Chain A
Amino acid sequence: MTDDDLEAQLRAALRPIEPEEGFAARLGARIARERALRPPLALRFLWVPAALAATVVVALLVAHERELQVERAGLAARQQLIEALRVTDEKLDLAYRGVNDAARRRAAGDTGV
């Protein structure tokens, strides 16, 4: 095959072809149909605010649960603290009473009562 033959074949293959009758109208109608079927932009990205809202709700629920856990632990610690101080107080009271009794007995002995 000569260069001229190749060029002739290429020219034949790449020659401009006129579209069929009504091609532009069919293409326009198809584009319009597909555009009509496609949801609007706002609807297409509706999942974004929905996902954001779901994330916020989950985060709030987790934070609330954590707060409840801290509150439960805090109330238990408070209860333990009060109990510890009650026992401490009770035993100090026992010691104070013992000291006081001894002092009273000494005072009574001193005065001859």
Chain B
Amino acid sequence: MRTVKLTALLVPALLAALLAPAAQAADARLALPDFKALEAKASDSVSVTLDSSLIGLAARFLDPNKPEDAAARQVIAGISGIYVRSFTFDADFAYPREQVERLRQQLSPPRWQPLVQVHNRKDRNDVDVYVAVEGSRTTGLTIIASEPREFTVVNIVGSVDLEKLHQLEGHFGIPKLNLNEQQQK
């Protein structure tokens, strides 16, 4: 009788322990709306869905001799999912703000912590950067950027090294900002 009770306790505990990492990683993945209506309105759209197997496959085809590939390889170490939805419009604020708000509602503490929130009235753009934190390590990153003619959601699942992400500057056609130099001036 005692054995049966112990088994009944141990099996769920073991299952929970085994499934915990997967559950943690899954928690950092946002439930992205399908954005079908938005895609129809957009003049340009980018939709990227990369799970861990596709990231692994992509990594095999990164050329270490190309700077952008080498930078990408460093960034994706520890990442198990990248989901990007980006839409460009011909008119200002053609996207429904409710969808943006619904996304923001998923990014609530204690799992998600706001890292950077930029609300620029002059340029009319809002950029919110959130990180998912488990103990002392980040398990996810989400960026919601709404500009007058562009709406972007980036959801990265896995341990994100922000320093390495920042090192992407200067690659992918993005000009280097030299933030540190400017701060020193």
Contact = CB atoms under 8 A, between A and B. Distances in A.
Interface string A78-91: 10111111111111
A74 B127 contact: no
Nearest to B73: A81
A88 B58 contact: no
Contacts of A83: 46, 48, 84
A25 to B, nearest CB: 76
A91 B143 contact: yes
Contact of A74 (B57, B86, B165): B57
Interface in A67-99: 70-71, 73-75, 77-78, 80-99
A9 interface: no
A85 B86 contact: no
B34 to A, nearest CB: 18
A91 B145 contact: yes
A92 B182 CA distance: 17
A89 B57 contact: no
B177 A100 contact: yes
A63 interface: no
Interface residues on B, range: 35 or more
A62 interface: no
Given A89-B168, A100-B179, A94 B48 contact: no
Contact of A88 (B60, B61, B156): B156
A85 B72 contact: yes
Size band of the interface chain A makes with B: 20 to 34
A102 interface: yes
A58 B145 CA distance: 52
Of the listed residues B71, B125, B154, the one surrounded by the most CB atoms of chain A closer than 10 A to its CB is B154
Contacts of A99: 116, 118
A91 B154 contact: yes
Identify which of B58, B69, B165 gathers the most chain A CB atoms within 10 Å of its CB.
B58
B182 to A, nearest CB: 7
Interface of A: 70-71, 73-75, 77-78, 80-104
29 contacts: A70-B57, A74-B58, A74-B60, A77-B58, A78-B61, A80-B58, A81-B48, A81-B72, A81-B76, A82-B72, A83-B46, A84-B48, A84-B154, A85-B82, A86-B172, A87-B86, A87-B154, A88-B84, A88-B168, A89-B172, A89-B174, A90-B172, A92-B129, A92-B166, A93-B177, A94-B118, A95-B129, A99-B118, A101-B120
